Amino acid sequence: MSKAVIAIHGGAGAITRAQLSPEKELLYIKALSEIVEAGQALLEAGGTALDAVTEAVRMLEECPLFNAGIGAVFTHDGTHELDACIMDGNTLEAGAVAGVSHIRNPILAARQVLEHSPHVLLIGKGAENFAEQHGLEPVSPDLFFTQQRWDQLQSARANQQTVLDHDGGDPIDPGTKFGTVGAVALDKYGNLAAATSTGGMTNKLPGRVGDSPIIGAGCYANNANVAVSCTGTGEVFMKTLAAYDIAALMEYGGLSLHQATERVVMEKLPALQGSGGVIAIDSEGNVALPFNSEGMYRGYGFVGDAPSVGIYQSQEG
């Protein structure tokens, strides 16, 4: 029996202490801690890694502090287009949705694709129809609205920028914060799973899809080696197949989890001007949460232990 563990992230970027008020920092720490604790409780009760990452990401989607689900950023046209992916390391089954606007929790739709579809990735209206056929009630896109994200879009439009979501200013104001959420877990049965969800980039072109719903780019899990969820400059994570590259470095190169994640995050991504980080758990229960930006909202916890959460480079988590 494995020592079950879960890790989560809520995005990365230039999150400096000077820009983050103590009150806002406490809100993030509290949210991260509660979500890790929920995952720990599920795993302790005998839940699967797949169930744990599903629930953790669902909770992150429900929290407007993060750019996924409620609180998602806006496209150039003032709309929401959400992406999510989930993968089971035991079976290598995967499900993903992209460009959806009427699904409250895209990760639940991705889970339905994994379980009930012969396909891996469904997009747009087809994904929304599939989700509704499998019991997910459609919602109005207004559900995802927050004033901070709307103001962020106006600023980005005025500056003719496409902005990622946590850099510069208050963490939920304009800048380049990579607004992805994710979770990885190892259950007591030795199974790994990974899940990733995002609202994308503020002022992105309608129809843009990043790494988050792409197997091997923003999300990957294989019981043979590792579960990975990424957050960062999506196009670079796609070009490098960052999540799968970590698994390949471990499988073919014999690198440890720490070595493989460091190689990708600290060497390969920056070589292409890629910024961000990953959370990863290997088949032995080792945890790695490296990032090359100033901060990454993150947390992890082994069953029976207190959660460890952090935002900045100098913090635990």
Map residue 44 onto helix, strand or coil. Answer: helix
Q: Is there a binding annotation on residue 209? A: yes
**Helix, coil or strand: residue 102:** coil
Q: Is 232 annotated as a binding residue?
A: yes
CB 174 within 8 A of CB 152: yes
User: Binding site annotation covers 208?
Assistant: yes
Distances (CA, A) of 41 to 135, 167, 191: 26, 33, 17
**170 annotated as a binding-site residue:** no
Whether 231 has a binding-site annotation, put simply, is: yes
Q: How distant is the alpha carbon of residue 219 from its chain centre?
A: 8
Paired strand residues for 312: 295
The reply, when asked if residue 285 is annotated as ligand binding, is no
Please list, in sequence order, all residues whose beta carbon lies within 8 angstroms of the beta carbon of residue 117, skipping any fewer than 6 positions away. 95, 130
Note whether 253 and 247 are within 8 A (CB): no
Length of the chain in terms of residues written: 317
Residue 228 is labelled as binding a ligand = no
Q: Are 218 and 57 in contact (CB under 8 A)?
A: no
Catalytic residue among 54, 176, 180, 261: 180
Q: Is 180 labeled as catalytic in the residue annotation?
A: yes
Is position 173 annotated in a ligand binding site? no
Annotated binding site: 208-211, 231-234
Q: Which residues are catalytic?
A: 180
Annotated binding site for substrate: 208-211, 231-234
